[in-house]
Amino acid sequence: MRIIRVKDYQQMSRDAANIISAQVILKPDSVLGLATGSSPIGAYKQLIEWYNKGDLNFEKVRSVNLDEYAGLTADHDQSYHYFMHQNFFDHINIAPQNIHIPDGCAADMEAECARYDATIAALGGIDLQLLGLGVNGHIGFNEPSDVFAKGTHTVKLTDSTRIANQRFFQSLDEVPSGAITMGIFDIIQAQRVLVIASGENKAQAIKKAFFGPVTPQVPASILQFHKDCTLVADEAALSLI
């Protein structure tokens, strides 16, 4: 476990973008596991800037997103499909056929979960997985639980997660109550994991996840066992350790 302590969100974003761009330069057809939420927006912006300057090429990159809300169509402005296009994909030269995001509206969710895991396997697994951290220590939408979920699965979101994500919706009622997410085993099979966290509201989660016992009650704690996990976090997020 490598911890890179940075001053603020901006520096976190630059460092994360540097790590992702190094990955893409070293392996142009990398499989990037991508995340949504406020945490990665700055890193995506930085990557777009470097792409525009001609320093990066995403032509051969493949991507697999962590998760999607259940019941939100790809064109819903709070769906993770929409988020990824708006904040990243529409501004770089990634090939549309190389973009993979779970379908939160599939008629048969069980089949969709199996399809998504088969997609990850067919790509040869994830080279670099980018992760944000939920305030309750969740990764993707793997909520605190009695067991570590293995593969892609559907989940019922906790109140804490729905409240944390309410800021993107008009009201709490509009926040979906379920989601589809890669499992913990999918995530930890990635060759490298990059976790980013900024702000005081992540301090408790960081303390528990990286300095507490490894337990499915704090899903991110499993990352302590990963052979190549880097946490880039700012001073506020690291204030309790």
Given the rule CB under 6 A, which residues bind ligand GLP?
35-39, 66-67, 132-134, 140-141, 161, 165
Active-site amino acid positions: 67, 136, 138, 143
Residue with tokens 């296009």: 85
State the nearest-atom distance from the C-beta of 63 to ligand GLP, in Å: 14
Distance CA 187, CA 144 (A): 15
3-class DSSP assignment, residue 15: helix
Give every CB contact of residue 102 below 8 A, 6+ residues apart in sequence.
Answer: 65, 67, 68, 112, 113, 116, 152, 180, 181, 182
State the nearest-atom distance from the C-beta of 179 to ligand GLP, in Å: 7
Angle separating helix axes 41-52 and 9-26, nearest 10 degrees: 50
Least Cα distance to 220 among 191, 181, 187, 178 occurs for 187
Of 93 and 201, the one with the shorter C-beta distance to ligand GLP is 201
Least Cα distance to 180 among 76, 71, 74 occurs for 71
Distance CA 241, CA 238 (A): 6
Of 28 and 71, the one with the shorter C-beta distance to ligand GLP is 71
Buried residues in 10-21 as b, exposed as e (16+ CB within 10 A):
ebbbbbbbebbb
Of 57 and 145, the one with the shorter C-beta distance to ligand GLP is 145
Of 23 and 65, the one with the shorter C-beta distance to ligand GLP is 65
